[in-house]
Structure 1
Amino acid sequence: MFNFTPPGSKSHANRSLVLAALANGKSILKNFPFCEDTIYMLNGLKKLGVKIEIENDTIIVNGKDGKFSIPQTKIYCGNAGTTFRFLTALSILNDGEVILTGSKRMTQRPIGELVEALKQLNVKIESTNGFPPVKISGGEFNPSKVEINSKVSSQFLSALLLIMPVLGKNFEVELKGYLPSLPYVKMTLQTLKQFGVNVSHKNFKKFYLTKDLKLKPAEIIIESDASSSTYFFGSAAILKKTIKVNGLNKNSTQADIKFIKVLEKMGCSIEWGKNYVKLKGKKLKGISIDMNDAPDSVPALAVVAIFAEGKTLIRNIENLRYKESDRISAIANELKKLGATVNQGFNYLEIIPSKQYSPAVINTYNDHRIAMSFAITQLKIPGVKIKNPDCVKKSYPNFWLEFNKLREAYKV
């Protein structure tokens, strides 16, 4: 059995950082995961004047009580979508000019719907034809009801919810259209509760405060990351081995907890304990499944599917087109190189396993989740090579170190 403890969740960490910055006083975040995405957030908050101290894996944030006063600053967010979108909303609270920019891929990822929602507050904000860079002249806004279309990313909605306590009960958010990745919105609401604010909602369509509430400084232990665990669960599944993953809770709001249930549906056995989960790999069968609420685990699922018996259909995953890469195309291209039959549509992947696979050089598209997912293939297909393996630093700098420990434990 391989015993694995994942790093802290960057999704929980970045939400906690934003709320700690908005609270009035000192917040302490423990089990903090240092990766490119969280470092971009730390640096962005510092550029807005937030004082942050680092002690090992603990972050101490001295909150600004919802007020920032930096006359002019430029914040580079790399390809960190969460960081870019959260800071876009946060920057309207700064009495000055903020320019948000990022990598080449970031400038291809939509931001227009969030910009249009913020304009409804009479904020001076402009994007580049609906894409980054974004320029915000903050400090003046009119809290009111806004409408947001969040079908590209639930992060647009989460960004608005995070600033809701500062804007007060006159600020309401109404969702137009369908919402992908609902668990991430639930995580946002849960994190707001940890800082003392309970945001009400009507069926996740309308969000509001029943009264004005102030964010309170908090001491928080960042949850272990379900997303980083998917590659290790997937590895155990295809090898018919047992793995114990520490720090995961069955009732967590993390979206990728679903991946464990998906593997169970494919044939694995699952045992939940207090603050851990055990998975035992068994003969896998293909499934048809809607992954709209857990899109980040789709790359790992697609790789596992080529080692199952029968076809796997992964449905309702349109927003994978707007991630660090066009993940639907990336997955299809690289699985085909190995010998699988893959059909793709705008919002689905159909994967038909082959009886035999050949090694290939896997293009990662500078996408951390493509790199980590295709690492799984190396366990069963000798000779597979991963281009640009260091792109995993975006979310999990120690991935290859931990993955090699798994290989040693399983003797592969």
Structure 2
Amino acid sequence: MTIEKLTIVPPSEPLKGRANPPGSKSITNRALLLAGLAKGTSRLTGALKSDDTRYMAEALRAMGVLVEEPDDTTFVVTSSGKLNVPVAPLFLGNAGTATRFLTAAVASVEGVVVVDGDEHMRKRPIGPLVSALQSIGIKAEAPTGCPPVTVTGNGHFASGRVEIDAGLSSQYVSALLMAAPLALSGSNAPVTVALTGPEIGARGYIDLTLDAMRAFGAKVDQVDAATWKVEPTGYVAADFHIEPDASAATYLWAAEVLTGGPIDIGTPANAFTQPDAKAYDVISAFPHIPAVVDGSQMQDAIPTIAVLSAFNETPVRFVGISNLRVKECDRIRAVSTGLNAIRTGLAEEDGDDLIVHSDPQLAGQNLPAEIDTFADHRIAMSFALAGLKIDGITILDPKCVGKTFPTYWDVLAGLGLTYRDESFAS
């Protein structure tokens, strides 16, 4: 049954209890790909099972990799170490990690592979990655600058030096790095991956990529802040544990400070290796969030902090967030639109900055507002936070949370939150 909207009932008591965030989407999709490229059987535990990771798993299956799922948080991946030509285009929905990572990886396939997605993915840029592949002799085409991408591989990745403009997304860099060990040994090795400029979205995600690559046997040296050398070693199977998703944790951290908690997520904030965990310090400062928040290294956490900032003591300006315009939706516009649906003038766009005109007096008011999520999971989950303090907040398309946190509404219910739409639970 398709549920189109969900109205949140502000809790009369603090949300409290134990809530386990799902496994990291970013790490799960890296580990799935690397296990699919590794010879042997790998066991991935603590993994996220969601729309994005299912798309990656299905793509690997379509290219001859055995992907088994013995339980809700485990993938067992068995591969020959080579990907085969799929019989049809790889459909990846709106999964940005899967689309970008596979666009580079399928260059190692001997034959033609089409990487495609849904209507939202077809609006998300991939031109810089395609240009980088072309620069090292790989035949890749994306006429619109967005998916679909057609890649013609010759059985291995290209050797030599590849340069990439990473201003739009660090995922382009990760894609090239993960594909680099698939180059032919001895042919102008190692592969050098270099940035064409100083700008890079969420550099911390490159560290996640490098850690995962090394876990599967890759040899990578960082020459400087903008250059990496990767040996053409291929990959070997490994058992790999995936930590909880830091972006998912931000909603629970925010719910705790908004309602008084305590909420135990099972993992200390300082134990996360993902960049979005930096948001913990900002969220913990509520209701005195700083006047300026630089979101460049915790981009997925910005919608959470922005909605939380609506109740802050003083206004907050978010900077370094231009990349949010090319996520699953234009998240700067989506957050601004949602906040202004609650009260006109609550948010303002200033170029690529977002200004939230905070007002603690919003708490306790009845301000009916339907929040357009633009089919974006992070918009849905973030604006649920507004419903903790304001009566009348309705989330449209609440099921879009299935992209990364399928149990989100159940988790909040387990902490004491209730919803007016009874049909949602059916």
Common fold: TM-score over 0.5 = yes
TM-superposed deviation, 1:243: 2.0
Matched position secondary structure for 1:29: strand
Whichever residue aligns with residue 321 of structure 1, its letter is R
Q: Give 2:240's aligned amino acid.
A: I
Does 1:154 pair with 2:170?
yes
Inter-partner Cα distance in structure 2 for 1:36 and 1:69: 23
The 3-state SS of whatever aligns with 2:368 is coil
SS at 2:58 equivalent: helix
Unaligned 5+ runs, structure 1: 268-282
| Structure 2 CA distance for aligned equivalents of residues 41 and 327 of structure 1 | 24
**Aligned-pair CA distance for 1:40:** 0.2
Give the Å deviation of 1:155.
Answer: 0.5
| SS of corresponding position for 2:142 | strand
Residues 1:344 and 2:349 aligned together: yes
Match of 1:393 in 2: 402
In the TM superposition, residue 118 of structure 1 has moved relative to its aligned partner by 0.7
Using the TM superposition, give the Cα deviation of residue 286 of structure 1 relative to its aligned residue in structure 2, in angstroms.
4.6
Question: Is 1:44 aligned with 2:59?
Answer: yes
Aligned equivalents of 2:281 and 2:115: distance in 1? 38
Which of 227, 231, 241 lines up with 1:206 in the alignment?
A: 227
Query: Can you list the C-alpha shifts for 1:10-66, whole angstroms capped at 9, x where unaligned?
Result: 11110001111111111110122110000000011111111111101321111232x
Match in the other structure for 2:9:
none
Q: Secondary structure at the match of 1:152?
A: coil
Indicate the SS of the match to 2:416: helix
- Cα distance in 2 for partners of 1:95, 1:107 equals 25
Percent identity, aligned pairs only, is 35
Aligned residues: 391
Contact 2:38 2:80 in 1 (8 A): yes
Give the secondary-structure state (helix, strand or coil) at the position aligned to 2:401.
Answer: helix
Partners in 1 of 2:269 and 2:253 — Cα distance?
15
Q: Name the CA shift for 1:218/1:248 in 2 (closer, same or farther; >3 Å).
A: farther
Aligned to 2:213: 192
What secondary structure is seen at the aligned counterpart in 1 of 2:69?
A: strand
Structure 1 ranges of 4+ moved more than 4 A: none
- Counterparts of 2:225 and 2:150, CA distance in 1: 29
Q: Which residue of 1 aligns with 2:378?
A: 369
Q: How big is the shift at 1:213?
A: 3.1
* TM-fit CA distance, 1:285: 4.2
Change (3 A) 1:82 1:285: closer
Which residues in structure 2 correspond to 1:162-201 (within 5 Å)? Answer: 162-167=178-183, 169-177=189-197, 178-201=199-222
Out of 22, 34, 45, the position equivalent to 2:49 is 34
Distance 1:321 1:144 in 2: 33
Question: Which residue of the other structure, out of 87, 98, 111, is the alignment partner of 2:126?
Answer: 111
Question: Which amino acid is 1:154 matched to?
Answer: S
Q: Structure 1 residue 251: deviation in Å?
A: 4.6
Structure 2 stretches lacking a partner, 5+ long? 1-15, 419-426
SS at match of 2:228: strand
1:287 to 281, 291, 310: 291
C-alpha deviation, 1:323, in angstroms: 0.3
Distance change in 2, residues 1:395/1:222 (3 Å)? same
CA RMSD of aligned residues (A): 1.7
Residues 305-362 of structure 1, C-alpha deviations (whole Å, 9 max, x = no match): 0111001111110100000000000100110111252121332111112333522000
Question: In the aligned structure 2, how far is the partner of 1:250 from the partner of 1:196?
Answer: 27
Does the alignment pair 1:383 with 2:392?
yes
Match of 2:99, SS state, is: helix
Once residues 416 and 351 of structure 2 are traced to their aligned partners in structure 1, the CA distance between those partners, rounded to angstroms, is 35
Aligned mates of 1:252, 1:341 — CA distance in 2: 32
Q: Give the structure 2 partner of residue 69 of structure 1.
A: 84
